[in-house]
C-alpha cells in the first residue's frame, strides 16, 4: 500500500504576507528507489551553473515545489536573466575562483542565514581539446576539467558547509554522469563504451568519491549527500545531441534534494535506480 504524507506548509513570500499552501499528498517513495518522504516549503536552495540546461531545470522544478531558489552562475547577465524568468534570486559565483566563492557564501549568509539544499551542478566538457585517445590527452585540458568538475564542487561545498549545518536537515547533491561510473565504463556492452574521455570521465569518477567523502563525514548528522546521474541530455555541453531533455535530467537531482529523513545518503542514482560505482 502506498503511504501518503500530508504536509502543511506556511511560507513567507517576498511581500512578507504569510500564506498557507493547501495540504498536499506526497508519495512515500521516489521514482524507482526508496527515497523517503518529500519535504517542501520554507526551504532555501542554491544551485550552481543554473542559468541554463539541467541546472536551470533543477531550479525550475524546485521552485515549483515551493522552494526558495537562488540561481548561481558565473555570467552575471545570464544568471540574472534566468533568475528573473523563474522569479528567483541570483548570486554570482565562479566555482573556479576562491574569492568569488567566498563572496557568494557571504551574500547567501547575509540574505538567508542558512541553506537547506545545495546542488553542485556547475560542470564543463572540452571534448575537442581532450579527444578520445587517453595517451594523447593534453594535460592542460584535463586540468581545466578538474578545476571546475572536481575542485569547483569541493570549493563550493566547503565554503557553504557552515550554512548547510545551520539548516535542520540539509541536502547536498552533486550532479555527476554515467560516464563517471567505473563499473559501467568497463562494460563493453554498454552504449557509451566508445566515449573514452580521459579528463571528463575521470573528473566525474573523482567527483563521485568526493561526494562519498562528504557523506561519510556527515553520516551521523541529518545532512544527506547524494549523486545524481541525469543521463544523456540535450544541453550546450554536447551541442544538444542527447535524447533526453534537461527537464528529464533534472528530475533525479530534484528528488535527491527533497529527500525525507528516511532517504538514502552516499547514493549514486539515476532515473532507473542505483548506478554502478
Compute the distance between CA of residue 272 and CA of residue 61 in angstroms, rounded to an integer. Answer: 19
The answer to whether the Cα torsion of 155, 160, 164, 166 is positive or negative is positive
Instruction: From the candidates 204, 214, 232, 268, give the one annotated as an active-site residue.
Output: 204
Q: Is the pLDDT of residue 8 over 50?
A: no
Q: Is the pLDDT of residue 14 over 90?
A: no
pLDDT at 46: 99
- In this predicted model, what pLDDT tens digit does every residue of 80-94 receive, in sequence order? 999 999 999 999 999
Instruction: From the candidates 112, 144, 200, 214, give the one annotated as an active-site residue.
Output: 200
146 is catalytic: no
Please state, in angstroms and as integers, the Cα–Cα distance from residue 68 to each residue in 25, 59, 160, 206, 273, following that order: 20, 9, 17, 30, 28
Indicate the pTM of the whole model.
0.84
pLDDT at 244: 78
- In this predicted model, what pLDDT tens digit does every residue of 190-242 receive, in sequence order? 888 899 999 999 999 999 999 999 999 999 999 999 999 997 665 766 666 65
pLDDT at 145: 98
pLDDT at 178: 92
Q: Which CATH architecture has domain 36-274?
A: 3-Layer(aba) Sandwich (3.40)
What the block records as the C-alpha cell of 138 is 593534453
Q: Is the pLDDT of residue 39 over 60?
A: no
pLDDT at 243: 57
Compute the distance between CA of residue 110 and CA of residue 108 in angstroms, rounded to an integer. Answer: 5
Compute the distance between CA of residue 169 and CA of residue 261 in angstroms, rounded to an integer. Answer: 8
User: Is 250 within 8 Å of 200 (Cβ atoms)?
Assistant: no
Helix ranges, 113-239 (H): 127-130, 139-149, 151-166, 182-185, 198-217
Stretch 22-45: mean pLDDT, rounded? 46
CA distance between the termini of the chain? 32
Q: For 239, which DSSP code?
A: T
pLDDT at 191: 80
- With CA atoms as reference, report the closest residue to 164 among 114, 218, 89, 212: 114
Pairing of strands 117-120, 89-92: unpaired
pLDDT at 42: 83
Compute the distance between CA of residue 215 and CA of residue 161 in angstroms, rounded to an integer. Answer: 12
204 is catalytic: yes
Stretch 256-276: mean pLDDT, rounded? 96
Count CB-CB contacts under 10 A for residue 18: 9
- In this predicted model, what pLDDT tens digit does every residue of 143-201 receive, in sequence order? 999 999 999 999 999 999 999 999 999 999 999 999 999 999 998 988 888 999 999 99
Amino acid at each position: 500500500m502506498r503511504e501518503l504524507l500530508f504536509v502543511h506548509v506556511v511560507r513567507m513570500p517576498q511581500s512578507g504576507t504569510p500564506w498557507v499552501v493547501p495540504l498536499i499528498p506526497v508519495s512515500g517513495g521516489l521514482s524507482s528507489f526508496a527515497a523517503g518522504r518529500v519535504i517542501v516549503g520554507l526551504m532555501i536552495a542554491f544551485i550552481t551553473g543554473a542559468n541554463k540546461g539541467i541546472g536551470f531545470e533543477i531550479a525550475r522544478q524546485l521552485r515549483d515545489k515551493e522552494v526558495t531558489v537562488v540561481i548561481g552562475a558565473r555570467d552575471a547577465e545570464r544568471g540574472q536573466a534566468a533568475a528573473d524568468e523563474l522569479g528567483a534570486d541570483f548570486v554570482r559565483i565562479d566555482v573556479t575562483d576562491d574569492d568569488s566563492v567566498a563572496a557568494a557564501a557571504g551574500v547567501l549568509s547575509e540574505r538567508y542565514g542558512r541553506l537547506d539544499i545545495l546542488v553542485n551542478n556547475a560542470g564543463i566538457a572540452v571534448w575537442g581539446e581532450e579527444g578520445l585517445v587517453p595517451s594523447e590527452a593534453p594535460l592542460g585540458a584535463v586540468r581545466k576539467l578538474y578545476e571546475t568538475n572536481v575542485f569547483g564542487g569541493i570549493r563550493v561545498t566547503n565554503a557553504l558547509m557552515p550554512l548547510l549545518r545551520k539548516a535542520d536537515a540539509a541536502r547536498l547533491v552533486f550532479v555527476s554522469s554515467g560516464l563517471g561510473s567505473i563499473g559501467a565504463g568497463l562494460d563493453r556492452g554498454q552504449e557509451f563504451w566508445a566515449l573514452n574521455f580521459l579528463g571528463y570521465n575521470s573528473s566525474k569518477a573523482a567527483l563521485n568519491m568526493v561526494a562519498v567523502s562528504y557523506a561519510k563525514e556527515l553520516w551521523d548528522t541529518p545532512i544527506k549527500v547524494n549523486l545524481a546521474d541525469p543521463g544523456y541530455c540535450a544541453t550546450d555541453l554536447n551541442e544538444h545531441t542527447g535524447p533526453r531533455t534537461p527537464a528529464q535530467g533534472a528530475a533525479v537531482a530534484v528528488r535527491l534534494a527533497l529527500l525525507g529523513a528516511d532517504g538514502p545518503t552516499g547514493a549514486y542514482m539515476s532515473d532507473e535506480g542505483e548506478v554502478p560505482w
